[in-house]
Amino acid sequence: MIRIGISASFFHADDTRPIFKGMTLQYIEQNLAHWLMQRDVLTFMIPSPDGGTRRAASRVTLDAYASALDGLVLMGGSDVCPESYGERALRPEWNGDRVRDDYEIGLHRAFVAQGKPVLGVCRGAQVVNVAHGGTLWQDIGSQLPHALNHRDWAIYAQNCHATSIVPGSGLARLYPGTTLVKTNSVHHQAVRDLGRDLVVEAWSEPDRLVEAIRWTGPSYVFAVQWHPEFHPPGDDSFIDDTPILDDFLAAASVHKDAEYAL
């Protein structure tokens, strides 16, 4: 079976939380794991090796995880900290999670260095862009007043819009003859300046925000701004995300027979 690592999301230590008081929690979203597991995939959360204070520092590195696994998914979650791309937060609530940024950017680079495929989802697309030197819109609503409402808490994953696929792109190859699809939208930040050697493969319509990016480098790096794991199974009004999953897993399968050593 193919072994796919999923980056962890963080609940940082909080003395007011009634459960695991004062402890840092790392977790993955169930829907994403199950989306991957619809194929013959073993999924693993990759815990951050940093941050321990009660025991000696971990000898396990992000490079070791990249060696042991066949591919990486950078999952959604909290905002990317503006300091990660050289800015200051315009509002305190947009300050994001710098600790998670550093961990995921390091994880991304470890897998890329070993030629292992990376798939970014929502925040993961933004992390990929920042890891390659790009920047983000900190808040679509205030910085791009012409744009659609890309996050509506009241309906969350039911919020959606049209997305156009760039002709001739890798994404277009997966959807021959398709130019316009429907995707969900649960983000308030978005790609602003594109990172090095990245190309846009899909745009939201009609406001033209970046919805999918791909690295033109030697290994597989692709990311979407929507959540494929949130799309209702069997609802033909949404894009069928399984070609994206299968394309990523095909890239990962190249590595599955390698010797695993942690």
Three-state secondary-structure class, residue 188? coil
Burial of 112 from C-beta contacts in 10 A (0-12 / 13-18 / 19+): buried
Residue 259 in domain: no
Residue 240 in domain: yes
Q: How many domains are contained in the chain?
A: 1
What pLDDT score was predicted for residue 108?
A: 98
Residue 262 in domain: no
How many Cα atoms occupy the beta-carbon half-sphere of 78 within 13 Å? 22
What pLDDT score was predicted for residue 261?
A: 44
* Residues lower than pLDDT 70 in the chain: 51-58, 257-262
What pLDDT score was predicted for residue 59?
A: 72
Residue 50 in domain: yes
| Domain extent for 129 | 2-253
Residue 237 in domain: yes
Three-state secondary-structure class, residue 39? coil
Predicted confidence (pLDDT) per residue in 200-239, tens digit: 999 999 999 999 999 999 999 999 999 999 999 889 999 9
Sequence-ordered list of residues with C-beta below 8 angstroms from that of 128, at least 6 positions apart, any chain: 74, 108, 118, 120, 195, 198, 213, 215, 221, 223
CATH of the domain at 207: 3.40.50.880
Stated pTM of the model: 0.95
**Catalytic site residues?**
122, 227, 229
Predicted confidence (pLDDT) per residue in 24-60, tens digit: 899 999 999 999 999 999 999 999 988 655 555 567 8
